Amino acid sequence: MAPALALMALFVVYPVFSAARMSFYRWKGFGPMVDFVGLQNYVRVLADDVFTDAVVHNFIIVFASILVQLPLGLALALLLNRRIRGRGLLRTIIFVPYVLAEVIAGVVWFQLLQPRSGLLETMLTSVGFPVPEQGFLGTPDLALVTVFVVLTWKYLGLAVLLFLAGLQGVPDELHEAAQLDGASWWQVQRRIAVPLLAPTIRTWVFLSMIGSLQLFDMVWILTGGGPANATTTMATYLVSQGTQRSNFGIAGAASVVLFLIGFAMAVAYQFLVLRRDTKDA
């Protein structure tokens, strides 16, 4: 285990402690950190409307992912678990976006959503669908919704894959017994398949929640946090403060706040939700 622990210490543990130490200094990225400011960076971060809006955006994505991707992914998994024509092709089509690199997917959607020249907007205009003058990504009221649609397209395949794997673990004997008792397909799914899939659903919700809090790549490529900070997330905020404004102390404080929020939610979810799966095991 020594090589793995050494890599983890070098690329995970050390950067975490470095960011925490950086958060107590006013530092522009050059020279030693000598301007100690204590908790001043945290006060500035928590008082910054851009950061508080970023927290709200992250939580909007968290709840929207659960409310939209969960039922949609579950419905697709139940459908694709049946013997239907073209099932393998449909599974591939749904899962391919997830295996694409975020940069590739982001660049493709950025080009598709370009105002007046993007393929998607051109197609919508040709059929008489009204499109915003600044484009879907350039309109503050629509930008976050558009980003979420792209995220759903990108990550829905993971939900479907996990749910399909969970459905494979449902014993065939239960399906056969229910059918012999006269249960319809829908009743079998509602009374047997979905309840037995509950541990998998809880695991997916946890992964979706943590991923939504750490959201960076797709937002940075599509909008960079704009327009007018309408799509800023905690991750894009701290990267912007560090790399574009050279406020590394502010960025460090924001990263610590992000870590604490994610850690608190993970512990609470583990204690309140996942603990029942551990007890059952």
**Structure confidence at residue 171 (pLDDT):** 76
Please give the Cα distance from 81 to 124 (Å, whole number): 33
**Structure confidence at residue 118 (pLDDT):** 82
Residue 115, C-beta contacts closer than 8 angstroms, at least 6 positions apart: 121, 131, 132, 133, 134, 135, 138
Per residue in 170-226, pLDDT tens?
A: 777 777 787 777 777 777 777 788 888 888 899 999 999 999 999 999 999 999 998
Instruction: Please state the rounded mean pLDDT for residues 240-262.
Output: 91
* pLDDT > 70? residue 276: no
Instruction: Please state the rounded mean pLDDT for residues 255-269.
Output: 92
* pLDDT > 60? residue 44: yes
Please give the Cα distance from 49 to 171 (Å, whole number): 52
Per residue in 111-155, pLDDT tens?
A: 998 887 888 888 888 888 888 888 889 889 999 999 999 999 999
**69 CB-contact burial (10 Å; exposed 0-12 / middle 13-18 / buried 19+):** buried
Higher per-residue pLDDT: 92 or 61: 61
Please give the Cα distance from 99 to 91 (Å, whole number): 13
* CB count in 10 Å sphere of residue 271: 9
**Structure confidence at residue 128 (pLDDT):** 80
Task: Provide the token pair at 74.
Answer: 């579950």
Please give the Cα distance from 110 to 246 (Å, whole number): 27
Please give the Cα distance from 247 to 30 (Å, whole number): 11
Instruction: Please state the rounded mean pLDDT for residues 64-69.
Output: 94
* pLDDT > 70? residue 280: no
Instruction: Please state the rounded mean pLDDT for residues 4-14.
Output: 92
Task: Provide the token pair at 194.
Answer: 């979905």
**Structure confidence at residue 277 (pLDDT):** 62
The pTM score is 0.89
Instruction: Please state the rounded mean pLDDT for residues 62-82.
Output: 91
